[in-house]
Structure 1
Amino acid sequence: MQIKKNPKANLENYSKLFMQLGLVLALLVVYLAIEKKTYDRVINDLGIATYNIEDDEQIVEIEQVKPPEQQAPPPPTPDKIEVVEDEKEVEETIIESTETDEKEAVKVERIVEVEEEEEIMEDVPFAIIEDVPVFPGCKGTKAQLKECLQDKITQHVNRKFNSELASDLGLTPGIKRIFVMFKIDKTGNITDVQARAPHKRLQDEAIRVVESLPKMIPGKQRGRPVGVKYSLPIAFKVE
């Protein structure tokens, strides 16, 4: 087969030449890059951009010119100058001394000590009363008087309370409870009776029974008669 392409047009014969030219061009670019000088940009206080250059070159320094200081204006000249004559008398103010003489008597008001009365509660709970109310017929120590009072109130309620009333009201079988609160006042009388029960008639019956308690010797707190609050739970069984 006959070759139609001209052998002189083959570029492979010039590959070495092209490679040498490329190396020379690369070396030239590197050399120019090394020889090129760069400067660091610095912004000073005046807002002017300067450049740091090498020591072998001339550096131009710019001095900041300060404006001249303004002097304060002189004080204004008074419109009129008043001349005071030497013969004019000047009134002197005499300040009296507040120090006392040792010979002078000093009056001291008498100091009266006022005793503060201890505040005592008008009504004291039965659990913290110092001297419990005394039920008629109870005697003994404070502990015995307290136990005797509780026993006598319980016996009085069991004797006076109408237990048949619960069955007449048609309540469901079981244990029913009534909570009663009252006060034994400063004179020993029963006051402020309140009750809570499962039925209104039971509530009224409990109030009636408690109000029928006899008059007692009132309780005392710090040696003074006070009212004593008492709570009484009543429980009964409905069959």
Structure 2
Amino acid sequence: METKKNPNLEIGRNSSIYFAIGLNIMLFFTWRGLEYKSYEKDDFAMEILDIGEEIEEDIPITNLEAPPPPPPPPAAAAPDVITIVEDTEEIEETVIESSETDQDDEIADPIEVSDVAVEEVEEEVSVPFSVVENVPIFPGCKGKNNTELRNCFALKMNEHIKKHFKYPESALEMGVHGKVFVLFAVDANGNVSNIKTRGPDKKLEEEAYRIISLLPTMEPGKQRGRPVKVPYSIPIHFKIQN
């Protein structure tokens, strides 16, 4: 049995042409869709200018009646009688004498230098303990030279500290300990002065001050035969023994 087929009605004969045409149409719509731009309506400002007729308002003119100005004050009446008082009181004028001098002025006798009393003020000289010619002598110290007296001074100082040493109870309970540096001076009269302390606690500083303030009066140090002030420093150790 033969298949009946009309060559003029064959559908697949021009299929490639139809495919190309359809592809081009789709590409065209796709391109237009990508190029399409839209704008939001809210971004546009719709402004309407309304120009109306200007209305001229007639302002009535009013006449303001201003009050009349006050009358001028009356002129002061002149006194009828003028009495003339005579000035009988005399005023003494103060004469200011000139302070300038001339050739006729006498010059007072000059004062001689011997008539002026000059008071000598003794200046307190301070010489360090290590370089003073004669060190202060602690009571009970004896020595042939300055070195022996210096060693005796240090020995007597240690004995004095051990004798009067008393550990503060409050510092002992709190476990406060350390080294207190004491600086004082033996003045020209042999008295202890200018006591200064520096340590780890105020209670320890007060105890060190008390010990040094109990030092006796000494024989003052001398420099070139004159009594001088001699500063001295010594550390005091506060130790807690278990």
Please state which band the TM-score falls in when normalised by the shorter chain: 0.3 to 0.5
